[in-house]
Amino acid sequence: MSRVIDDAELAAWLGRLSTGLWTSPSADDEHVVPDWFSAEVIRLDGHLGMLQLSNFGTMRADDPDAFQAALLRRSIGATMLYSTLETAHTVSYDRGSPEDEDIIIVGMSNQGGQRLHTAAGIQLMSVGRMGFMSSLGASAVEHLGVSETTGVVVPVAAIPGYRHVLARGAEMFPDTPLTRAAGASFGRMLFEWAKDPDQGAGALAGTEAALLALVRGLFRQFPGDGETDRASELRAEAGRIIERRHRDAGFGIEELAAELHISRRQLFRLYAGTDESLAGRLLRRRLVTAREELLSTPPQDLAAVALRSGFADAAALRAQFSRHVGLSPSAFRLAARTQPPRLAEAMLLSDEQLGLSL
């Protein structure tokens, strides 16, 4: 069988996964694939390869014997990072997965293209766009030419509040900065774990938490179960206001409600049943800014960092930072200077790390 997915395709794939971090060591042969990557890649060919790759879907191609695919995957706790290079085919998903655990496959198209076939119609998932397939509904995905999809598989139970969205079977995520950044993160994290699979239990748990938080963030771009479009719009506006005003230590729930022109009670109702409290969202944004300010050059004293990130004073920043990041601000700053953090540890604070109540 002649190779459609050859070393040139594999080298380009590796470059995309690494977000440019990996380049060929030889200018004379840009198609060199490192041994560690070749050892991690699973090659699947022909009709048997289609059966092995199909997950809970049914695959078909014009010439099944000519089918080729390359698969890279890494289990991360209850999630699985994956990336595939596949020749043209169509996969149909019927309701229900064979393992009796409903799952969501989130993926970004990085080469070729795909067409999603759902009850609502056909959507083109071109390069740079992201969508999902769910075992809660029927759908079909048509892969055009040699296509690459990179993403994560998560249990449906880990993404509460969106069963009506998942019941569509497949859908495109909005084309937003969050969606694009999440897609790049999935590829980069898979690259890091494939290159260095022995990163320790702490990095494994941190990566799983970050992946779940990213997927939950992606689904928050849809209205939740029982949520009206108006409620979705208000939550999006609340996020923009928090982004703009979180550095102000005097900004809180009352001020947010006033800017939205709703009562405090209506504001709390807006977030009822979500997996992160409103106070948690505001604190998380302030802690992310504090992390950025702690690493700024020249170094600032803790009082200045607190002022610039929305905390009342240095003591308040120290207490919240130590509780939710796991290090004091000074220890975090020292660790960042003496050893570059792994990608998973440099991700934004996750919902699990900020399990706060109002």
What is the C-alpha to C-alpha distance for residues 311 and 330, in angstroms, rounded to an integer? 16
Query: 121 - beta bridge partners?
Result: 118
CA dihedral 264→164→77→126, nearest 10 degrees, is -110
What is the C-alpha to C-alpha distance for residues 58 and 96, in angstroms, rounded to an integer? 12
- Structural domains in the chain? 7-204 (2.60.120.10), 229-354 (1.10.10.60)
pTM, two decimals, is: 0.65
Q: Are 159 and 104 a contacting pair, CB within 8 Å?
A: yes
pLDDT in the model for residue 240: 87
pLDDT in the model for residue 353: 40
Mean pLDDT split into 10-residue runs, the chain, 358 residues: 82 90 64 87 90 78 91 94 94 65 91 85 90 90 92 92 88 91 94 90 89 92 72 82 93 93 88 74 90 87 94 94 88 74 39 37
pLDDT in the model for residue 302: 94
Query: 108 - beta bridge partners?
Result: 130, 150
pLDDT in the model for residue 297: 80
Amino acid occupying residue 43: R
CA 13 to chain centroid: 19
pLDDT in the model for residue 352: 38
Q: Which H helix or E strand runs over 70?
A: strand 68-76
Query: 152 - beta bridge partners?
Result: 81, 106
What residues contact 209, with CB distance under 8 A and at least 6 apart? Answer: 350, 351, 352, 353
